[in-house]
Structure 1
Amino acid sequence: MTGIFDRRGFLVESQAKLDAARTAGTTVALLAFDIDNMVVLTESYGETAAAAVRARFAAVASHCLRRHDVFGEMGPAAFSALLSNLTAEQALVVAERVRQAFAASGGIGADNPATTVSIGVALARGRETDLQHLMQAAGRALEEARSTGSGRIAGSTAARPPAAG
């Protein structure tokens, strides 16, 4: 529906990108996106309108990401992007660019309420993490962002798996 990877495709492509980063010793960032108030949008305007919001977000985010970034739809209002070879500051700039572009892309319905997205950002060196831990770190950052309101960003630079013990 959105023209991007589904969850399975995202996981396969992201693992390949993470393996390459591990070999090269470069950084990777995982951005976890959650469209704010999707349940309310769906209940108020219907599934067709909600699908249009998801498609609009996918188009906006795809435009803000680089061609070699991996982007996928993870659930009804959840998307993720895996970016490689950038700093924490650069990852946050990308997240902010997506957040602003989506907020500016318009609302939905007659009363035109704005649509916003909350974003969690996790960054790690390829050798220091695996995909599961990177996704968990981005998920924790997303929860932190959502706890402060709609349309927020929070980040983490520690996405290491627990030490073997």
Structure 2
Amino acid sequence: MTGLLNRRAFEQRLDTQLAVPLRQGSSLLILWIDIDFFKLINDRHGHPAGDAVLQAFAATARSCCRANDFVGRLGGEEFALVAQVSSADDAQEIANRLREAFAAQTLIWEGAAIRATVSIGACYLNCVHQDMATLIRDLDTALYDAKRNGRNRIEWLEQDVSRRDRVIGPRLARA
């Protein structure tokens, strides 16, 4: 329906990406994304309207991607995006651009205006990270913190750059 990678394909590609050493001056941005109040959209406007919102988000996410970036639909209203970036500022700019671009859209469905936002758990990796299960768990925690803290926001994982084998620390940084 969205034309995006499914969960299995996305996780395989992420696992491959995490196993490859990063080039000098290259880092990764990983976003774990959930459409806010999606169930209400389906309940108020019907599942075809919800499908249209999913398709609109997929198009927005693809528009924020470059050639080597990839985005997947993990299931329901959950998505993820991986982008190669040159700096933490670049990562923050892409994440904010995605969040703001989707929030600015209005979908007209059978005469009704539908607006939606996303909550995002985000990670900026500037060295190899080989523990995908921990990374996904931490991103999921950051995503749900974004929802608990008001939605339509980004919660960033804090980096532990003192350890080269593991970038993600247990603490979360507020965006």
**Superposed pair shares fold, TM > 0.5:** yes
User: TM-score, with normalisation over the residues of structure 2?
Assistant: 0.82
Change (3 A) 1:126 1:133: farther
Give the Cα–Cα distance (whole angstroms) in 1 for the partners of residues 90 and 38 of structure 2: 28
Contact 2:123 2:139 in 1 (8 A): yes
Give the Cα–Cα distance (whole angstroms) in 2 for the partners of residues 140 and 89 of structure 1: 22
Pairing 1:151–2:128 present: no
Pairing 1:136–2:137 present: yes
Higher relative contact order (CA 8 A, sep 6+): 1
Contact 1:41 1:50 in 2 (8 A): yes
Contact 1:122 1:137 in 2 (8 A): no
Give identity over the alignment, percent.
30
- Higher mean C-alpha displacement, 41-50 vs 119-128: 119-128
Amino acid at match of 2:8: R
Offset from partner CA, 1:34-89 (integer Å, 9 cap, x none): 00110111111111111110011000110011121121000110000122343332
Pairing 1:88–2:94 present: no
Offset from partner CA, 1:14-43 (integer Å, 9 cap, x none): 1111112x3647532210110011011111
User: TM-score, with normalisation over the residues of structure 1?
Assistant: 0.86
Change (3 A) 1:93 1:23: closer
Higher helix share: 1
* RMSD of equivalent CA atoms: 2.1
Q: Would you say how many aligned residue pairs link Structure 1 and Structure 2? A: 161
Change (3 A) 1:130 1:70: farther
Contact 1:6 1:73 in 2 (8 A): yes
Amino acid at match of 1:147: R
Give the Cα–Cα distance (whole angstroms) in 1 for the partners of residues 87 and 137 of structure 2: 19
Structure 2: stretches of 5+ with no match in the other structure = 160-166, 171-175
Offset from partner CA, 1:110-131 (integer Å, 9 cap, x none): 4414211111101224424422
Contact 1:31 1:121 in 2 (8 A): yes
Structure 1: stretches of 5+ with no match in the other structure = none
Higher strand share: 2
Q: Secondary structure at the match of 2:134?
A: helix
Q: Secondary structure at the match of 2:92?
A: helix
Contact 2:22 2:126 in 1 (8 A): no
Aligned to 1:31: 31
